[in-house]
Structure 1
Amino acid sequence: MQALATLPALFISHGAPSFALEKNTTTNALARTGQNLPRPKAIVIMSAHWVTQTLEIASNPAPQTWHDFSGFSPQLNRLEYPANGHPELAEWLSIQLNKMGINNSLNPLRPLDHGVWVPLLHLYPEADVPIVQLSLPKHYDAYACYQLGALFEQLRQEQILVIGSGSITHNLAALHWDASSEDAQAKAFKLWLLNKLKTDIPAALEWQDFDNVEKVHPTAEHLLPLFFALGCGQRVSVIHESMAHHSLGMDIYRFD
């Protein structure tokens, strides 16, 4: 019997919702990644846009495409990402986490927020890989996300792709939609954090030690999915690096 391929974990900066309509170096990097990875049996993904009191696991067999934004092109609201859910996998994950003392619940109604379907539209445009979404509990910090990710590491040997979807830098107040410039503070943070991820994971988990960190992450929810992916595989490599709208980091990382 042929052995299953071991998949990496990914951290994807999903950008603004309008990223779904773009064609650029970032979308090309996602497309190449989807083409080059061994075909996953399912995707388990944590998005910055599902923050809950306690951990929830989506068990919706046919999740709708949720256009959870406003003020963008009407064309965005016509996009659909009709991927199936995977209730059996969701239930199995819930049972395993309960056995380990991780309080969680199944959510059979959750749709796919744009932190899920926007990047997956480029990664797997045929929407033919089943999806299980995890929430981000509001009391989780980088350590908790890292520890949770470590519990999912075995999934990589089961040909399940684990993804954290957020943004390597995310300060909406600093965005300039039509600018070609790059924010120096955001650039410095990306370089600093990547160095820590490569050389000193405990220091990376203390990401809030970066000087003036509130200028790149006024809130934590867009960075925390990175540490979930990091828990699944501690060796980081950069798939893509860029900046959009002056200060919105669009980096994609692979963890093995």
Structure 2
Amino acid sequence: MKMPAFFIAHGSPLLALEDNEYTRFLERLGADLPRPRAIVVFSAHWESPQQLLTVDERYETQHDFYGFPEDMYRLTYPAPGDPELSLRIRELFTSHNLPHQPVLGRGLDHGVWVILKKMFPQADIPVIALSVDSLRSPKEQYEIGRMLSPLREEGVLFIGSGGLVHNLRLLINSDQPEDWALKFDAWIAEALESRNLQELFNYDQKAPHAREAVPSYGKEHFVPLFYVLGTAAKGTKAQRMFQAYQYGTLSLNCWKFE
């Protein structure tokens, strides 16, 4: 069964405790999808110049944040891994001459488990986490995703977890979005829906307010879009399934690629 691929904003870690329109959307999304063989997540919270991937049989839950309510630190997501699929991914990377490194015992960071806890709360589907490198070019990031695109035909669900507008220094105390954030998201939507890869690869020069939306210190939240878009390289359809904002500039969006 060929699975779709998604870019999903993970917002604040508090998403794991919240009950709102976005969390209910994620719950419905997980319930409506065919059950994947496994889930592979490119996480904004795992950045490395070398491509890394998990090879665990079972994961610990990382609480890689501070200053949150105690309830956050009691949450767990004890998902299984899939060492056999990890090996398959390594073989695909090797066949494309991509240096990579398996990692054992890192656990799942909140960029992975917070959204999966909403989508697949039973934590019974195997998960593999992949690192991102925000210093690579968007085309390189896309090509790494494209190396893995055959796995979608094998029942693997790919998720890029991050945020298209994610500038923590410009947050405001309002859920009404700033005009510049709306304009940036609208530009990205048009480029995705028309599958204009060249425009997307040059978003930092082309998109309005790109510097505010994707600050130089926070590109790791944007780049999972390119990795997961690469896994859908043979597809032709991009669908925005959800769009909202928190704190004025933190976009909560879900894009589906088929």
TM-score bucket (shorter structure): over 0.9
Where 1:185 maps in the other structure, the secondary structure is helix
Distance 1:201 1:110 in 2: 33
Q: For residues 149-200 of structure 1, what are the alpha-carbon distances to aligned partners after superposition, in whole Å with 9 as ceiling and x for unaligned? A: 1111111110110110000110001112x41321111111000011011122
Of the three residues 5, 14, 20, the one matched with 2:16 is 20
Does 1:31 find its partner at 2:40?
A: no
Change beyond 3 A, Cα 1:151–1:11? same
Distance 2:15 2:240 in 1: 20
Where 1:111 maps in the other structure, the secondary structure is coil
TM alignment of 1:115-194, pairs within 5 A = 115-176=111-172, 178-194=173-189
Aligned to 2:222: 223
**Matching residue's letter, 1:193:** I
Q: For residues 132-156 of structure 1, what are the alpha-carbon distances to aligned partners after superposition, in whole Å with 9 as ceiling and x for unaligned? A: 1111135322111111111111111
**Matching residue's letter, 2:103:** N
Where 1:102 maps in the other structure, the secondary structure is coil
Q: For residues 205-256 of structure 1, what are the alpha-carbon distances to aligned partners after superposition, in whole Å with 9 as ceiling and x for unaligned? A: 2110223322111131101001111112242101111111211000000001
**Matching residue's letter, 2:11:** G
Q: TM-score, normalised by structure 1?
A: 0.95
Report how many residues are paired: 251
Q: For residues 20-61 of structure 1, what are the alpha-carbon distances to aligned partners after superposition, in whole Å with 9 as ceiling and x for unaligned? A: 111111111111111111100101110000001200111121
TM alignment of 1:1-256, pairs within 5 A = 5-176=1-172, 178-199=173-194, 200-209=196-205, 210-218=207-215, 219-233=218-232, 234=235, 235-256=237-258
Change beyond 3 A, Cα 1:101–1:227? same
Could you tell me which runs of 5 or more consecutive residues in structure 2 were left unpaired when the two chains were aligned.
Answer: none
| Native 8 Å contact 2:134 2:223 kept in 1 | no
Q: TM-score, normalised by structure 2?
A: 0.94
| Native 8 Å contact 2:42 2:161 kept in 1 | yes
1:131 deviates by 0.5
| Native 8 Å contact 1:54 1:138 kept in 2 | no
Following TM superposition, the consecutive aligned residue runs of length 4 or more in structure 1 with deviations greater than 3 angstroms are none
| Native 8 Å contact 2:160 2:225 kept in 1 | yes
Where 2:228 maps in the other structure, the secondary structure is helix
**Matching residue's letter, 1:255:** F
**Matching residue's letter, 1:238:** R
Which has the larger displacement, 178-187 or 163-172?
Answer: 178-187
Distance 1:99 1:64 in 2: 30
**Matching residue's letter, 2:250:** L
**Matching residue's letter, 2:223:** L
Distance 1:137 1:253 in 2: 21
| Native 8 Å contact 2:8 2:161 kept in 1 | yes
| Native 8 Å contact 1:29 1:239 kept in 2 | no
Distance 1:93 1:232 in 2: 12
Could you tell me which runs of 5 or more consecutive residues in structure 1 were left unpaired when the two chains were aligned.
Answer: none
Distance 1:181 1:238 in 2: 19
**Matching residue's letter, 2:222:** L
Distance 2:56 2:106 in 1: 6
